[in-house]
Amino acid sequence: MTSRGRVEDHYTSEGITARVLTALRAVNGPDVPITPETLAPIDHFHGRGSIATKELAEVLQPEASDHLLDIGCGIGGPARWIAAKYGCRVTGVDLTAEFCVAARELNGLTGLADRVRILHGSALSLPVPDKSFDRAYSQAALMNVSDKCGVFRETFRALRPGGLLALSLAGAGTAGEPHYPLPWATTTAISFLATPEEVQGDLLAAGFQIVFVRDTSAALAEALAPVLKQLETEGLPPLGEHIVTGENAKEWRINAMRSTAEGRLSMIEALARKPA
Ligand SMILES: C[S@@+](CC[C@H](N)C(=O)[O-])C[C@H]1O[C@@H](n2cnc3c(N)ncnc32)[C@H](O)[C@@H]1O
């Protein structure tokens, strides 16, 4: 199987939207409105959920007239949340066909289908025209891609001159290999962890100017310490990304948090600009 096939295999499951709605109604009642806010505990696939999406969006500062590109958009939680909050348009691209199906269904249910568009495709060959986006972001997706420079070259092509790219991804730590299985990969076969320096080098090689590249793992480990304790003692909460990814999410999340706390994973945030 190709790396692309293995990645899609890792994330694929059927009937995602039905599972999401069943869980949401079981917890919040049959009449719960289906909005980016009510979906948020389930549809942001990364450690700190919608809090991390909010922070990424604050770095990117989208304007209502902007068209954003979300690279590795998952089932579209961050894209819907940002489109609803900032009034902008977002196009999400994702490799996993079942995630694209669920994302489109949830766009329809939240009334955001006219502003959030989902395309099935690879970050290494983005199915979008040149210079068609004002801003781009990728959150918790590039750990599955070995050729990060290839993704940055494609993003550079898709952005207009002066356009911004914000990144948030787990990276290599300094204390050895992380504990597997992890949320993005059960083995090293589809986990490609770079250092902040390597990400910076790849951004520069693709033509970007660096606004900042930083390692926020110390702050992340501190923020996640109570979450880790709660997960270990009480188990998964009623609503979480496990509604989509399955009960294995408990072990995956514990491993990610332990690996971060032990310096086996870094958390890389970056902002880069395509020269005007
Ligand atoms: C951990 S999920 C994060 C999803 C979303 N960014 C979020 O934060 O909710 C990683 C996503 O990256 C996607 N992905 C991985 N490699 C990709 C690639 N080469 N091109 C496009 N999407 C990719 C996966 O299909 C998956 O949906």
Q: What digits encode the pLDDT tens for the residues 79-136? A: 999 999 999 999 999 999 999 999 999 999 999 999 999 999 999 999 999 999 999 9
pLDDT of 1 strictly over 90: no
Minimum-distance ligand 1 atom for the alpha carbon of 241: 9
> Helices 3-11 and 97-109: crossing angle, nearest 10°?
40
**Count of other CB atoms within 10 angstroms of residue 141:** 25
CA distance 151 to 135: 15
**DSSP strand pairing (209-215 vs 265-273):** antiparallel
CA of 182 to the centre of ligand 1 (A): 14
Range picked from 1-10, 173-182, 216-225 for highest mean pLDDT: 173-182
> Any idea which residue has 């990364």 for tokens?
46
pLDDT, residue 116, reads 98
268 in Cβ contact with 215 (< 8 Å): yes
Query: What 3-state DSSP class applies to 44?
Result: coil
CA of 123 to the centre of ligand 1 (A): 9
CA of 94 to the centre of ligand 1 (A): 6
Handedness of CA 185, 271, 61, 156 (dihedral sign): negative
pLDDT of 10 strictly over 80: yes
Q: Could you give the angle at the alpha carbon of 271 between the alpha carbons of 175 and 143, nearest 5°?
A: 45
Share of the chain above pLDDT 90, in %: 96
152 in Cβ contact with 126 (< 8 Å): no
Overall average pLDDT of the 28-43 stretch: 98
Which of 10, 39, 44, 96 to probe ligand 1 with, by most ligand atoms within 8 A of CB?
A: 96
Overall average pLDDT of the 256-261 stretch: 96
Asked if residue 227 has its Cβ within 6 Å of ligand 1, the reply is no
Query: What 3-state DSSP class applies to 248?
Result: coil
Which of 2, 4, 11 to probe ligand 1 with, by most ligand atoms within 8 A of CB?
A: 11
Question: In this structure, which residue's CA is closest to atom 13 in ligand 1?
Answer: 72
Q: Which residue has the higher pLDDT, 3 or 53?
A: 53
pLDDT, residue 3, reads 81
pLDDT, residue 4, reads 83
How confident is residue 61, by pLDDT bands cut at 50, 70 and 90? very high
Asked if residue 74 has its Cβ within 6 Å of ligand 1, the reply is yes
For 17, the enclosing helix (H) or strand (E) is helix 16-28
For the chain, give the mean pLDDT: 97
For 8, the enclosing helix (H) or strand (E) is helix 3-11
CA of 143 to the centre of ligand 1 (A): 9
Give every CB contact of residue 82 below 8 A, 6+ residues apart in sequence.
53, 57, 62, 68, 70, 88, 90
pLDDT, residue 251, reads 96
β-bridge partners, 119: 93
For residue 103, give the nearest of 78, 69, 122 by alpha carbon: 78
pLDDT, residue 47, reads 83
In the 3-class helix/strand/coil scheme, how is 61-93 assigned residue by residue? CCCCCCEEEEECCCCCHHHHHHHHHHCCEEEEE
Q: Kindly report, residue by residue over 156-192, the tens digit of the pLDDT.
A: 999 999 999 999 999 999 999 999 999 999 999 999 9
pLDDT, residue 2, reads 82
